[in-house]
Amino acid sequence: MKTRINLLALLCCVGLLGLPAPSLGRATVPPPDVASYDITATYDPETHTLTGQQTAVYHNRTAAPIPNLVFHLYLNAFRNTETLWMRESDMGMRGYGFDPNAPGWTRIDQLSLADGTVLTVKALDDDETLVEVTLPQPVAPGESISVDIAFTAQFPKVFARTGWADSGDFIFGGQWFPKFGVWESGAWNAYPFHANSEFYADFGRYDVALTLPQDWIVAATSTATSGVVANSDGTATHTFVAEHVIDFVWSASPEFREMTREVEGVDVRVVYYPRQRAMARRALEATTGALPLYNAWFGTYGKGLYPQLTVVIVPPDAGGAGGMEYPTLFTVGALGGPMPACLRLIEVETVHELGHQWFQSVVATNEAEEPWLDEGFTDYATVRATNALYDGNLVDCAGWTFSYLAMHRMQYVMFPDTPMAGAAWDFDSMQYGIATYSKPLLALITVERTVGETAMQQFLSTYFDRYAFAHPRAEDLRAVMEEILDAEVAAWFFDQLVHDDGVLDAHVVAIDAEQATLERDGDLCIPTTVRVTHDGRHTPETIAWSCDQPTLTIDGAPRMVEIDPNGAIVLDQDLANNRLRRAPDPVTGLGILVRGLRFWQDFLWGGAVW
């Protein structure tokens, strides 16, 4: 028995060694490293140039051998005005423009294998934002390859997430090193850098040593306590370790101050310029308010593997670096002078970028091919957080409110016929915002209000738990939705909203003393209910309106009809026509008269009233 068990154990182990690596389609916590980097770099604030030496290791966790290595050199998109990125973006992003006198680029000076064999780097696109090296031997399944890369990076004056500002006293180092593509399904998933596109990378470990002038304060992606050593030449070397992350960014300035707070076991650090202290305070409050909510709704921050979180408040002339997410670090955009507390742009931006720590940094979907997956979920999280923290309002001034949800509704109804599915470069800039942010957010809110908070909670936490440290695609999300919610919800969500451009306008056509007539316009159909108040009856009646009824007729002296009375379908093109009374409301009329009287009195008196 014992011998047989031992033999079985031996066979299992041998078998395991020969088996392909487990798929990354499902979560493994902590995740196995795929793309790891050991980088030593020196940054010169005078020339805005960084010289680096990196050892990059790629672990083949798939069943297919890898014949070559592909790297992103993102900064090359900013080397002149003729690149694909520049042509697509009209040389700007979010209102910030490229300075042709301060371009950016990355150059691989040498790339060699661990044994010293120098490999030839070949560009895959005209702008060299994507390069490859052919390997002498493919990397077999389960094996790893290590390459040494000497590189130089020139940072642009910041306008699109990365670069320097404040006359060189501020640097945000994003997409600054040669970065592996993602090997999956037997090929590299990597594209030339498009203007609308964000990023896609594997999980791994980063060991980074950055040398800068001694008085510079550095913030960076990190999962362990960083170190700093002063050098004799007036510089200091800062060392960082970040495990189980998909990217590494850093920011530095001699002007930085910091404020810290611990929340639910996470050390939150906000770095900011002194004149932005008020803004930093608001961002800190928003972060520490929303983090426990996201923990409760989706799952623990970093699945417990990230003990730190850094927020960088970018200075006023570095606004192009603001509002962006990275593992364990995100940036909040500079907004110039003080902002009144009733305008919650800082708070909403903060809770949005924080939300990406769940949807992008841990559930690491492909932002290039399926940008709606991370942005849609993050914006959904943003709405929930703003509801909990700020009554949902982006603006709450002088009694007038404007919710974050309403803002996205506004965008959506302007251009509703946009499917959510599509690569980032398939959309123009307006469509991209709607397809990636507004429509997914509204669709998820509609799902939540249709299925209820409890079911939605289970769906979200299952999705996060199952795909943490993985790269799920839309079909994976659909499978979870069908499993946890139901197939009918998944059908209209995916078939009609994700992959199609159907729109919906359910409305009351007419209502008289005998009956009311309701219609649905548009290709999109979401089952709903109708609440009818009849003459002579105290209790309203609720009627189901299914998708096989394009028109609904209600008899029995209806006094008021309300389609979707709970406001679940926020995608409806026209909410004003969802509810109608048979006759004008005299009480409201009197209210208007009285309020109008006061308005016209003040108008006619003008300054004379004082």
| Contacts of 1 by beta carbon, 8 Å cutoff, 6+ apart | none
Beta bridge partners of 253: 217
User: At closest approach, how far in Å is the CB of 609 from another protein?
Assistant: 6
Q: How many CB atoms lie within 10 A of CB 218?
A: 20
The one segment of 99-107, 319-327, 364-372, 408-416 that binds another protein by CB under 8 A: 408-416
The one segment of 246-254, 431-439, 469-477, 601-609 that binds another protein by CB under 8 A: 601-609
User: At closest approach, how far in Å is the CB of 347 from another protein?
Assistant: 18
CA distance 69 to 135: 7
Q: How many residues at the interface with another protein, by CB under 8 A?
A: 50
Beta strands across the sheet bearing 217-220: 163-165, 170-173, 250-253, 217-220
Looking at the Cβ atoms of 111 and 580, the one nearer to another protein is 580
Residue 117 engages another protein in binding (rule: CB under 8 A): no
Q: Which long-range contacts (C-beta less than 8 Å, at least 24 apart) are formed by 455-458?
A: 455/484, 455/485, 456/485, 457/297, 458/484
Q: What angle separates helix 371-390 from helix 404-414, to the nearest 10 degrees?
A: 140
CA distance 485 to 483: 6
User: At closest approach, how far in Å is the CB of 562 from another protein?
Assistant: 7
The one segment of 164-172, 257-265, 279-287, 394-402 that binds another protein by CB under 8 A: 394-402
Question: In this chain, which of 2, 4, 538, 598 binds another protein, going by CB under 8 A?
Answer: 598
Looking at the Cβ atoms of 19 and 410, the one nearer to another protein is 410
Question: In this chain, which of 263, 343, 406, 557 binds another protein, going by CB under 8 A?
Answer: 406
Residue 588 engages another protein in binding (rule: CB under 8 A): yes
Residue 562 engages another protein in binding (rule: CB under 8 A): yes
CA distance 289 to 295: 11
Residue 405 engages another protein in binding (rule: CB under 8 A): yes
**What's the N-to-C CA distance of the chain in angstroms?**
101
CA distance 301 to 292: 9
Does an H or E element contain 55, and which? Answer: strand 49-59
Residue 153 engages another protein in binding (rule: CB under 8 A): no
SS3 120: coil
Looking at the Cβ atoms of 488 and 514, the one nearer to another protein is 514
Q: How far is CA 152 from the centre of its chain?
A: 29
Looking at the Cβ atoms of 17 and 576, the one nearer to another protein is 576
Looking at the Cβ atoms of 215 and 585, the one nearer to another protein is 585
Q: What string of DSSP letters covers 334-374?
A: --SS---TTB-HHHHHHHHHHHTTTBTTTB---TTT-HHHH
Q: Compose the 334-363 pattern: x for residues touching another protein by CB under 8 A, - for all others.
A: ---xx-------------------------
User: At closest approach, how far in Å is the CB of 289 from another protein?
Assistant: 23
Residue 33 gets which letter from DSSP? P
**Angle subtended at Cα 66 by Cα 64 and Cα 71, rounded to the nearest 5 degrees:** 135
Looking at the Cβ atoms of 291 and 560, the one nearer to another protein is 560
Residue 559 engages another protein in binding (rule: CB under 8 A): no
CA distance 262 to 307: 10
- Tokens linked to 575: 């909410």
Which residue, among 219, 295, 208, 225, has the nearest Cα to 254 in the 3D structure? 219
Looking at the Cβ atoms of 296 and 510, the one nearer to another protein is 510
- Tokens linked to 476: 């994976």
Question: In this chain, which of 133, 346, 413, 518 binds another protein, going by CB under 8 A?
Answer: 413
Looking at the Cβ atoms of 186 and 599, the one nearer to another protein is 599
Question: What letter represents residue 77's amino acid?
Answer: A
Residue 521 engages another protein in binding (rule: CB under 8 A): no
* Residue showing tokens 């965008």: 411
The one segment of 102-110, 217-225, 536-544, 594-602 that binds another protein by CB under 8 A: 594-602
CA distance 193 to 127: 9
CA distance 330 to 247: 12
Question: In this chain, which of 400, 536, 538, 548 binds another protein, going by CB under 8 A?
Answer: 400
Phi and psi angles of residue 71, each rounded to the nearest 5 degrees, phi first:
-125, 145
Residue 487 engages another protein in binding (rule: CB under 8 A): no
Residue 567 engages another protein in binding (rule: CB under 8 A): no
Residue 580 engages another protein in binding (rule: CB under 8 A): yes
Question: In this chain, which of 402, 423, 473, 478 binds another protein, going by CB under 8 A?
Answer: 402
Question: In this chain, which of 409, 466, 471, 520 binds another protein, going by CB under 8 A?
Answer: 409
Residue 49 engages another protein in binding (rule: CB under 8 A): no
Looking at the Cβ atoms of 391 and 495, the one nearer to another protein is 391
Residue 510 engages another protein in binding (rule: CB under 8 A): no
Residue 277 engages another protein in binding (rule: CB under 8 A): no
The one segment of 2-10, 211-219, 339-347, 602-610 that binds another protein by CB under 8 A: 602-610
SS (H, E, C) 229-263: EECCCCEEEEEEEEEEECCCCEEEECCCEEEEEEE
Q: Compose the 239-268 pattern: x for residues touching another protein by CB under 8 A, - for all others.
A: ------------------------------
Residue 1 engages another protein in binding (rule: CB under 8 A): no
Looking at the Cβ atoms of 128 and 505, the one nearer to another protein is 505
Looking at the Cβ atoms of 338 and 452, the one nearer to another protein is 338
Peptide bond into 30 cis (omega under 30): yes
| Contacts of 375 by beta carbon, 8 Å cutoff, 6+ apart | 436, 437, 440
User: At closest approach, how far in Å is the CB of 578 from another protein?
Assistant: 8
Residue 531 engages another protein in binding (rule: CB under 8 A): no
CA distance 333 to 323: 5
CA distance 131 to 69: 8
Contact residues for another protein (CB under 8 A)?
337-338, 395, 399-403, 405-407, 409-410, 413, 560, 562, 574-585, 587-601, 603-606, 608-610
